[in-house]
Amino acid sequence: MTTRLQSLPKIELHLHIEGTLEPEMMFALSKKNNIPLPYKSIEEVKEAYNFHNLQSFLDLYYAGASVLVGREDFFSLTWAYLLKCKENNVVHTEIFFDPQTHTQRGVNLEDVIGGISDAMKKADEELGISSYLIACILRHLSQEEGIETLKSLIPYKDKIIAIGLDSSEVGHPPSKFKTLFSLAKQEGFLLVAHAGEEGDSGYIWEALELGVSRIDHGVRCTEDAKLVQYLKQKHIPLTVCPLSNLKLKVFKHPSEHNLVELLRQGLCVTINSDDPSYFGGYMNDNFRLIVENFDLSEEEMVDLSVNAIKASFLPQNKKEKLMQQVQNFKNVTKS
């Protein structure tokens, strides 16, 4: 199964580029940019990654992101992630970034978007990996601040496919951003939002009211049978992140995760890595956790990639090409 898992073409739809910052790069950039970190060594960073909830993770995630300053830093970060995609046989990825995490520190938006986009272009040309960029609004900040950020993103419309919503969920429901999401839609952006990670199923209903195409996480949908039926009937994808959910104690044990239950009920669930440097694994590790704990069949493993192709923002012709790659994988006789 491990070699089959490696060769399955994978599509990632929930990945925060700031969450791919490995401790080694964090230390190197801290030194280069003269930005102090609250850790003495790489080992100390790794020891600190012992989270008890979303906020305890976010505090370290924002502290880590403070070492990213210049265009070249955003390029290096993104290029390193795209090399991991190659290793994990991820053939298409839709990458989140948090503009406010950087602009609030005085970093130029042009450098953030420019550095990330340069790496994405290089990966397309040299690694054959396609990608899109999604700008997430920080929900712990005000809607007004979010709208200012949205306005600053308009000149980069050609580089950004969608607007998302992330950061501290509880206390910051999707309805707080109704005007912002309506403006983003008018500007032609697609919409996604984190909901139902720590927030209850009501947050998912609210995200749907904003007009999102996908729900990021959404695992708390199982608290509401009507919602599960709705997600199924409307084919609303959930971008689920198993290792993240375990590290942030959304589920206590891998066997308690509800991804496979939702898959077997016919929902469009997908597997993703969220913040792989902080949660202990990239795409293959997230797939492996589920495959091994639930005795997933090869057909079900393939369904997860098919779901992700359908849920992606790729045009129909590109989706068909990826479907063909998955079909080719299925046609290879098992050794």
Instruction: Find tokens 């199964």 and name the residue.
Output: 1
- Quick check: is 24 catalytic? no
Indicate which of Zn ion, ligand ADE, none lies near residue 74 (CB less than 5 to 8 Å, by partner kind). Answer: none
Applying CB under 6 A, among 274, 309, 312, 326 the residue interacting with ligand ADE is: 274
Are the C-beta atoms of residues 286 and 243 closer than 8 Å to each other? yes
Closest residue to Zn ion in the complex (CB): 274
CB closer to ligand ADE out of 19 and 174: 19
Decide: helix, strand or coil at residue 320. helix
Binding mask 163-182 for ligand ADE (x = CB under 6 A): ---xx---------------
Shortest Å, Cβ 242 to Zn ion: 12
User: Could you give the residue ranges of the DSSP H alpha helices within the chain?
Assistant: 2-7, 23-33, 42-48, 54-65, 71-87, 99-103, 109-126, 143-153, 178-186, 201-209, 225-233, 242-247, 259-264, 276-279, 283-294, 298-311, 316-331
Interface with Zn ion: number of residues (CB under 5 A): 1
**CA-to-CA separations, 267 to 7, 46, 187, 264, 309, in angstroms, rounded:** 24, 35, 30, 7, 14
Q: Which of 100, 201, 244, 277 binds ligand ADE (CB under 6 A)?
A: 244
Token pair 């006789």 in the structure block, residue: 333
CB of 244 or CB of 284, closer to ligand ADE: 244
Which residue from 22, 73, 274, 303 is in contact with Zn ion, where contact means CB under 5 A?
A: 274
Residue with Cβ nearer Zn ion (111 or 274)? 274
* 16 counts as binding ligand ADE under rule CB under 6 A: yes
Residue 197 binds ligand ADE, judged by CB under 6 A: yes
Picking from 217, 269, 204, the residue whose alpha carbon sits closest to that of residue 246 is: 217
Stretches 34-42, 179-187, 274-282, 322-330: which one binds Zn ion (CB under 5 A)?
274-282
Cα–Cα distance between 304 and 65 in angstroms, integer?
A: 31
Residue 292 and residue 290: Cα distance in Å, rounded? 5
Residues found near Zn ion in the complex (CB under 5 A):
274
Active site members: 197
Chain residues binding ligand ADE by CB under 6 A are 16, 19, 54, 61, 166-167, 194, 197, 244, 274-275
